[in-house]
């Protein structure tokens, strides 16, 4: 009913649904909610996904809405071309008045190549759908200064405008139910992805009747307020969960990046990983701080060759005319 009401109000809704593994595990009689082994989880997901899609189709049909199922993997949203394809599919479904129901394709995902929680998946899907907002329905009604189940002095945080170390320290790693895979840490990561894409994110209780209507009525939840929207490419970069390599930089380069400049070879210290030009790499500052993410202008071998060198020495080292930067500011996003 909540989804139907918002749809009738003219909102374009995408649902990111959990529960496929748990539902499949119950039908198969698997221990530990189907998560005892990767093989159990994949089998449970295969059974649960078809059952879950049927439930959503019936519920939405009863409200006069058409459901569509999309199963995605981490690779689908990390690879730029596949991400754009997924975004185009979402856009077409939404333009047709359909309610897409998304789930991670756990029947083929592995531990190494998966989201592992729906909080980050929801934020990435929101980014692909160009959403203005993302709502996470949780077993808790928002962010607290400490775990309210353990600390009676924990205070509720109604709004967050900046994800800094103080906010991250409030996160607790577990969900109350023990059945899900996302705790407050994953919700904060989802908030980071959404905010980088210019979308607000709210954490609200999913235990209340008509939780979306309840949130509209009393505003009980934590809202992460996004700054201005990033460009589509930079939003995709900020939302990525994997990278092909890392470039460590000195304090001077870190300052230059913070001022909106490109990463030059002179400010680089070391290069890690195997990557080619155009791959996504992380930029690491003093103290192992993750500063930025961007597209490499050189492959790993050439990047290592010019590390720490001034521009006037690069052509002789490379044997060809150097590019403007190791990572250009137009293809770089601060984290």
Consecutive H or E run containing 42: helix 38-62
Segments of the chain scoring below 70 in pLDDT = 111-113, 172-182, 229-230
Number of domains observed in the structure of the chain: 2
Same domain, 11 and 76: yes
- What is the dihedral sign for C-alpha 39, 43, 44, 45? positive
Same domain, 228 and 277: no
Where are the extended beta strands (E) located within the chain? 15-16, 67-72, 99-104, 133-138, 143-144, 156-157, 159-160, 200-205, 222-224, 245-249, 268-273, 280-284, 290-295, 332-334
Is 60 within 8 Å of 33 (Cβ atoms)? no
Distance CA 36, CA 176 (A): 19
For residue 166, what are the CA distances in angstroms to 31, 192, 255? Answer: 38, 14, 22
- What is the dihedral sign for C-alpha 274, 276, 282, 288? positive
- pLDDT score of 177: 37
Q: How many CB atoms lie within 10 A of CB 224?
A: 27
Same domain, 250 and 219: no
The residue among 179, 211, 236 that closes a domain is 236
- What is the dihedral sign for C-alpha 99, 3, 183, 243? positive
DSSP string over 179-197: SSS--HHHHHHHHHHHHHT
Same domain, 65 and 161: yes
Is 73 within 8 Å of 118 (Cβ atoms)? no
Tokens, residue 251 = 């304090």
- pLDDT score of 159: 95
- pLDDT score of 84: 83
Same domain, 155 and 297: no
Q: What is the CATH number of the domain that holds 286?
A: 2.30.130.10
Q: What is the CATH number of the domain that holds 209?
A: 3.40.1160.10
Q: Specify the pTM.
A: 0.74
Q: For residue 205, give the 3-state DSSP assignment.
A: strand
Same domain, 145 and 185: yes
Same domain, 162 and 220: yes
The range of the structural domain enclosing residue 35 comes to 2-236
Q: Which residues, including other chains, have CB under 8 Å from residue 92's CB and lie 6 or more apart?
A: none
DSSP string over 216-261: HHH--SEEE---SPPPHHHHHHHH----SEEEEE-HHHHHHHHTTP
- pLDDT score of 34: 86
Q: How many CB atoms lie within 10 A of CB 277?
A: 13
The residue among 236, 261, 283 that closes a domain is 236
Same domain, 222 and 299: no
The residue among 236, 254, 277 that closes a domain is 236
Distance CA 113, CA 20 (A): 18
Same domain, 48 and 97: yes
| Secondary structure, 3-state, 78-101 | HCHHHHHHHHHHHHHHHHCCCEEE
Q: Which residues, including other chains, have CB under 8 Å from residue 175's CB and lie 6 or more apart?
A: 138, 139, 181, 182, 183
Distance CA 281, CA 273 (A): 9
Same domain, 136 and 158: yes
Same domain, 117 and 217: yes
Distance CA 72, CA 115 (A): 10
Same domain, 172 and 293: no
- pLDDT score of 270: 96
Q: For residue 213, give the 3-state DSSP assignment.
A: helix
Radius of gyration of the chain (CA): 22
């Amino acid at each position: 009913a909540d989804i139907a009401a918002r749809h009738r109000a003219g909102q374009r809704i995408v649902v990111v649904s959990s529960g496929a593994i748990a539902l499949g595990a119950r039908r198969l009689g698997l221990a530990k909610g189907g998560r005892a082994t990767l093989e159990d989880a994949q089998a449970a997901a295969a059974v649960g996904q078809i059952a879950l899609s049927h439930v959503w189709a019936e519920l939405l049909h009863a409200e006069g809405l058409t459901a569509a199922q999309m199963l995605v993997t981490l690779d689908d949203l990390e690879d730029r071309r596949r991400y754009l394809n997924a975004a185009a599919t979402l856009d077409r479904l939404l333009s047709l008045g359909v309610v897409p129901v998304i789930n991670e394709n756990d029947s083929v995902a592995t531990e190494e190549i998966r989201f592992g929680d729906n909080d980050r998946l929801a934020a990435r899907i929101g980014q692909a759908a160009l959403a203005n907002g993302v709502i996470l329905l949780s077993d808790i009604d928002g962010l607290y200064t400490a775990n309210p189940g353990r600390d009676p002095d924990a205070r509720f945080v109604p709004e967050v405008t900046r994800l800094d170390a103080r906010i991250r320290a409030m996160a607790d790693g577990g969900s109350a139910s023990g059945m899900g895979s996302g705790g407050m840490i994953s919700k904060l990561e989802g908030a980071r992805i959404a905010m980088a894409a210019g979308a607000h994110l709210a954490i609200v209780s999913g235990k209340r009747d008509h939780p979306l209507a309840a949130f509209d009525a009393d505003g009980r939840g934590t809202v992460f307020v996004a700054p201005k929207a990033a460009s589509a490419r930079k939003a995709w970069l900020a939302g990525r969960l994997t990278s092909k390599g890392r470039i460590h930089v000195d304090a001077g380069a870190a300052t230059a990046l913070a001022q909106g400049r490109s990463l030059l070879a002179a400010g680089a210290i070391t290069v890690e990983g195997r990557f080619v030009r155009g791959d996504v790499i992380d930029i690491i500052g003093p103290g192992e701080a993750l500063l930025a993410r961007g597209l490499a202008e050189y492959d790993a071998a050439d990047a290592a060759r010019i590390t720490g060198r001034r521009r006037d020495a690069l052509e002789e080292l490379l044997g060809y005319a150097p590019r403007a930067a190791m990572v250009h500011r137009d293809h770089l996003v601060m984290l």
